[in-house]
Amino acid sequence: MVQQITPAAGRSAGPAVAPAVAVEAVELTKRFGETVAVDRVSFHIAAGEVVGLLGPNGAGKTTILQMLLGTLLPTSGQVRILGLDLTRHRETILHQVNFSSTYVSMPASLTVRENLMVFARLYGLKNPRERVESVMNLFEIADLRSASGRGLSSGQLTRVCLAKAFLNEPKVLFLDEPTASLDPDIADKTRRLLRETRDKNGTTILYTSHNMQEMEELCDRIIFLHKGRIIAMDTPKAVLATYGQASLEELFLLIARRGTAVP
């Protein structure tokens, strides 16, 4: 049973006017041979919303993220980002979008600053040096500017990747388990930064994480996936009420272990 889409008003200082749709997936399907990885998934994310994509391993989260980024072609269906069709306007869209994942890294032989400068140039930023300094300060990695990737801890590397994701001041941010390797302090700061960015710039964020508490805390809405389909899509509270669970952690375990999505 799929919950009704409830456009979020934003957790704190959300968009004051009726939100425009920033991300829209229509009947998105991906088949790999006989396997249906994503099955007719439709959703929209309003501008300035923080939406969590969650589900057990193999539920289709990464496949959906890849299709939203245009690195994976859907078998059928359509993706529209910032009102533009992704197939036809991929380059224009990608200038206004960014991505960070625990599973993607950066060249370890370059220094933090060199890595960020490469991406600043790639996004064609007007003042790359200033912008790089700014994101390094934002993620508290300015003192690591001359350190090579080899000397960084996984948490520091994650912050460099997040800094990369903020370089072009994206209107839409796709984050794949961004806090997975961060210590609780930096993870908390990162979540706070994401909220501030949304509140200040109206950035739309699609977020995946296996940290259910983080999802409840951060997300305006969640999209719960199971076997390539959306089984619930609403505010965390509303989804929990539907399933009669006290926390997303319990709901996650229920669905993963019972193998069914019936409330």
Partner 1 sequence: MKWYRVWAIFTRHFYLYKRSLARWMAIFYWPLIDLFVWGFITIYLRQSESLSAAGKPVSFVMAFLGALILWDILFRSQQGISITFLEEVWSRNLLNLFVAPLRPIEFLTASMLMGLFMVTTATLVSAILAWLFYSFNLLVLGVALLPFILNLVAMGWAIGVVTTAIVLRYGQKAEVLAWGLTFFFQPISAVFYPVEVLPAWLQPVARAVPATHVFQGMRQVLRGGAFPVGELLAATALNGVYLAVAFGFFYWIFGQVRELGLLMKVGE
- Give me the residues that bind partner 1 (CB under 8 A), please: 30, 32, 62-63, 66, 69-73, 90-92, 94-95, 97-99, 101, 103-109, 119, 122-124, 149, 161, 164
Which lies closer to partner 1 via its Cβ, residue 19 or residue 149?
149
Q: Which residue has the tokens 């057990």?
A: 56
Which lies closer to partner 1 via its Cβ, residue 117 or residue 233?
117
User: From start to end of the chain, where are the E strands?
Assistant: 21-32, 35-46, 50-54, 76-81, 84-85, 97-101, 172-176, 204-208, 221-226, 229-234
- How many CB atoms are located within 10 Å of the residue 126 CB? 7
Residues 6+ apart with CB under 8 A from 16: none
Query: In the 8-state DSSP scheme, what is residue 182?
Result: S
Q: How many CA atoms does the CB half-sphere of 28 hold within 13 Å?
A: 29
The CA distance from 75 to 97, in Å, is: 23
User: From start to end of 147-195, where are the E strands?
Assistant: 172-176
Which lies closer to partner 1 via its Cβ, residue 68 or residue 212?
68
Which lies closer to partner 1 via its Cβ, residue 15 or residue 170?
170
The CA distance from 157 to 102, in Å, is: 9
Closest separation in Å from C-beta 147 to partner 1: 15
Q: Are 7 and 220 in contact (CB under 8 A)?
A: no
Closest separation in Å from C-beta 23 to partner 1: 14
Closest separation in Å from C-beta 22 to partner 1: 16
Query: In the 8-state DSSP scheme, what is residue 177?
Result: S
Residues 6+ apart with CB under 8 A from 90: 70
Write the DSSP string, 68-87. HHTSS--SEEEEEETTEETT
User: From start to end of 64-219, where are the E strands?
Assistant: 76-81, 84-85, 97-101, 172-176, 204-208
Which lies closer to partner 1 via its Cβ, residue 10 or residue 149?
149
Closest separation in Å from C-beta 9 to partner 1: 29
Tokens of 83: 């009102």
Closest separation in Å from C-beta 253 to partner 1: 27
Which lies closer to partner 1 via its Cβ, residue 164 or residue 198?
164
Which lies closer to partner 1 via its Cβ, residue 82 or residue 255?
82
